[in-house]
């Protein structure tokens, strides 16, 4: 399977602006990431949510999310990138298929 069915698609969780910058505190992803990952991830996802992102922001957010096993969120970032983002990566279909398989295998577990 190279795409997730619509009922398994998640919206991208938007970080919140906190006293120390963008954070996932108070969201469903609170305490899911180590602080050094969360700081970079929240900033890149904020850029995506604000529609100010470059291709680098999409790529980096998906990489960070995948590295933390947040496959559904990584997939959601790639979906936005493929439809709304700048210059999609030519490897995006293979990447999206790999994440779809990861999401499905975690859903069955």
Dig out the tokens for 55 from the structure.
């291709």
pLDDT tens, residue order, the chain (109 aa): 678 988 889 999 999 998 889 999 999 999 999 999 999 999 999 999 999 999 999 999 999 999 999 999 999 999 999 988 888 788 888 999 999 999 998 877 6
pTM for the full predicted model: 0.91
pLDDT at residue 109 in the model: 61
Sign of CA dihedral 94, 98, 61, 83: positive
- Write out the DSSP string of 16-66: EEETTEEE-TTSTTTTSS-HHHHHHHHHHHHHHHTT---HHHHHHHHHHHH
CA 23/CA 60 separation, integer angstroms: 16
CA distance 11 to 95: 18
- The reported pLDDT for the residue numbered 70 is 96
């Amino acid at each position: 399977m190279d795409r997730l069915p619509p009922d398994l698609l998640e919206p991208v969780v938007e970080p919140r602006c906190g006293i120390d910058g963008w954070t996932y505190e108070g969201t469903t992803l609170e305490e899911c990431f180590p602080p050094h990952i969360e700081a970079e991830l929240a900033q890149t996802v904020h850029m995506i949510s604000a529609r100010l992102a470059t291709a680098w922001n999409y790529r980096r957010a998906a990489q960070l999310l995948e590295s933390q096993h947040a496959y559904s969120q990584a997939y959601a970032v790639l979906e936005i990138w493929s439809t709304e983002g700048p210059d999609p990566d030519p490897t995006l279909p293979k990447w999206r298929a790999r994440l779809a398989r990861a999401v499905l295998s975690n859903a069955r577990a």
